[in-house]
Amino acid sequence: MARSVLVTGGNRGIGLAVARRLAADGDAVTVTSRSGDPVQGLAVVPCDVRDATSVDEAFSAVETAQGPVEVLVSNAGVTKDQLLALMSEDDFSYVLDTNLAGAYRTAKRAVRGMMRQRRGRLIFISSVVGLYGSGGQANYAASKAGLVGFARSLARELGSRNITSNVIAPGFVESDMTAVLSQERRKEIIGAVPLGRFAAAEEIAGVVSFLASDAAAYMTGAVIPVDGGLGMGH
C-alpha cells in the first residue's frame, strides 16, 4: 500500500530527487516549498519550516489528501557562510532556525500521527560537514551536527513505538546550494573526495529510499555517510 510521505524542501535539488524516487517506489508523496508553486508530477503544500503554524497547516493538508505522514524526510536547509569574526547573529540564527529548529518543528508535528499509528520513519538530511567541520560554515556545521543528537534522541524516545529516526550525511551534491561555489573551490573539494566527483541528487535519494523501505526496519539512530569517502573516520 502507498505510504504517506512528506519531503520538506522537495521542490528542487536533493529534496526533489528524493520525492521523485519515493513516488517511483509507489508512495503517495507531497513536497513542501515556500512559494507553494506547482512541481511537475508531485503534490505541493506551501510551508516555511521556521514557522510552527505553517508546518501545522502543511501537515493538516497532507493528512486530508493522503493520510497521516508515515515517512518524513526533513530536508529543507540553507547556508549563510561567513567567517566567525564576521558572522552576524542573524546569519547564525537564520541557519539554525531553518536547519535544526525546522527539523524539530516538522518532526514534532509528524510524530503525533506516527505515535497513533505505531509506525513511522524520520529521515533527516544532515551533511558531512556536521561531523567534519568546515571553515566559514560554523553556523551550518553546528546545525547539521545538531541533527545527529536530535535524531538519536528521537531514536531512543520513539523506538518502542516502532518509529525509526536516522540521519543521512551527504557530501557535496550538484544542486543550487553548491552551484555558487567557485571553480577553484570545486576543484579543491573534488581533490579531497576519494571518488573524485560531486554526487548527483539521485544518489542521495537512493539511500533515502532504502531507509524508508522494509529492508531498513531494524535501523535507527544511524548516521549514514553518502559522501564519496570525504568524511571517512568522522
- Summarize as ranges the residues that interact with ligand NDP (CB under 6 A): 8-9, 11-15, 32-35, 47-50, 75-78, 98, 125, 127, 170, 172-173, 175-178
If we measure between CA atoms, which residue out of 151, 232, 168 comes closest to residue 203?
168
Shortest distance in whole angstroms from residue 69 CB to ligand NDP: 15
Shortest distance in whole angstroms from residue 46 CB to ligand NDP: 9
Smaller CB separation from ligand NDP, 95 or 111: 95
On the CB side of 171, CA atoms within 13 Å amount to: 22
| Tally of CB atoms within 10 A around 234 | 14
Strand partners, 43: 30
Shortest distance in whole angstroms from residue 123 CB to ligand NDP: 12
Q: Environment class of residue 204 by beta-carbon count within 10 Å: exposed (0-12), middle (13-18) or buried (19+)? A: buried
Task: Tell me whether residue 140 is one of the annotated catalytic residues.
Answer: yes
* Kind and range of the H or E run holding 31: strand 28-33
Pairing state between β 43-46 and 71-74? unpaired
Smaller CB separation from ligand NDP, 25 or 81: 81
| Catalytic residue (one of 94, 132, 140, 218) | 140
Shortest distance in whole angstroms from residue 170 CB to ligand NDP: 4
Smaller CB separation from ligand NDP, 115 or 189: 189
- Which residues are designated catalytic? 140
